[in-house]
């Protein structure tokens, strides 16, 4: 089966973290482009595409039929992983949802901590809350990469549970492993985070703890995005 279409850079980066022949679940699938592309390009044989809302799931079903992969991709109405069987979910993608929602979805499934699962996470907002949650709950971010798609920058994290509780300082919360990544896309991600923090700091009174904390982060980010 040939590749049916191209993914945008954001979903392509998520796809690049998926293991060959894994059992994949795409949580919050909407259009289901990610599982369709992975199946059509032969990376995986089967997948589950799930969404909490019936409208997006219909959208997914239509696209799955359009690409003739309905024998290989199952659609499930599910809030997070609540209706997903653990034996169907070894690589789990959660892309395009808020970081806090992704953390909530992970928190509800104890079986994600059995050491057999890989989480591929692409938060749209509040990535810092997600990194903090992962560090404090025994999930190791084993890889993190950035990409630019359209006018926006995104981070995709590959995580595994190992039970080790990690310190997560503010700098790591905001830019994660990208601090050590000198690619153009990582530097663009860091610049975008820094831009947001420069806006955020205006809401705090000078000399307040939050102000001083953010000032230090902004200075560090200024240094690592200097030409």
Ligand X SMILES: C[S@@+](CC[C@H](N)C(=O)[O-])C[C@H]1O[C@@H](n2cnc3c(N)ncnc32)[C@H](O)[C@@H]1O
Query: Which chain residues interact with ligand X by CB under 6 A?
Result: 11, 27-30, 51-53, 56, 79-80, 95-97, 101, 105
Tell me how far apart the alpha carbons of residues 202 and 222 are, in angstroms, rounded to a whole number: 17
* C-beta closer to ligand X: residue 35 or 176: 35
* C-beta closer to ligand X: residue 126 or 215: 126
* C-beta closer to ligand X: residue 122 or 194: 122
C-beta of 8: minimal distance to ligand X in Å?
A: 8
C-beta of 129: minimal distance to ligand X in Å?
A: 16
C-beta of 199: minimal distance to ligand X in Å?
A: 23
How many CB atoms are located within 10 Å of the residue 207 CB? 8
Q: Which whole-number Å values give the CA distances from 20 to 24, 38, 42, 90, 203, in the listed order?
A: 10, 9, 8, 11, 47
* C-beta closer to ligand X: residue 124 or 142: 124
C-beta of 196: minimal distance to ligand X in Å?
A: 19
> Do you know the residue count of the chain?
227
C-beta of 163: minimal distance to ligand X in Å?
A: 25
Whose structure tokens read 């953390």?
A: 103
Tell me how far apart the alpha carbons of residues 88 and 45 are, in angstroms, rounded to a whole number: 12
* C-beta closer to ligand X: residue 86 or 224: 86
Query: What residues does 144 pair with on adjacent strands?
Result: 157
């Amino acid at each position: 089966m040939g590749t049916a279409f191209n993914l945008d850079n954001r979903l392509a980066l998520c796809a690049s973290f998926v293991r060959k022949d894994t059992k994949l679940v795409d949580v919050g699938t909407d259009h289901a482009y990610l599982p369709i592309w992975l199946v059509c390009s032969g990376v995986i044989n089967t997948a589950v595409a799930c969404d909490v809302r019936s409208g997006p799931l219909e959208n997914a079903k239509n696209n799955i039929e359009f690409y003739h992969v309905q024998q290989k991709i199952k659609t499930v109405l599910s809030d997070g992983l609540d209706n997903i069987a653990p034996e169907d979910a070894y690589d789990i993608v959660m892309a395009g949802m808020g970081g806090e929602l992704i953390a909530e979805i992970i928190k509800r499934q104890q079986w994600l901590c059995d050491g057999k699962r890989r989480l591929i996470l692409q938060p749209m907002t509040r990535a810092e809350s997600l990194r903090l949650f992962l560090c404090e709950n025994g999930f190791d971010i084993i890889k993190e990469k950035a990409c630019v798609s359209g006018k926006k920058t995104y981070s995709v994290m590959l995580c595994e549970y190992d039970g080790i509780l990690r310190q997560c300082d503010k700098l790591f919360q905001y830019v994660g492993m990208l601090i050590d990544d000198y690619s153009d896309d990582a530097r663009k991600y860091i610049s975008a985070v820094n831009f947001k923090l420069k806006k955020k700091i205006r809401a705090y009174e000078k000399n307040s703890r939050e102000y001083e904390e953010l000032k230090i982060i902004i200075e560090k980010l200024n240094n690592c995005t200097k030409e």
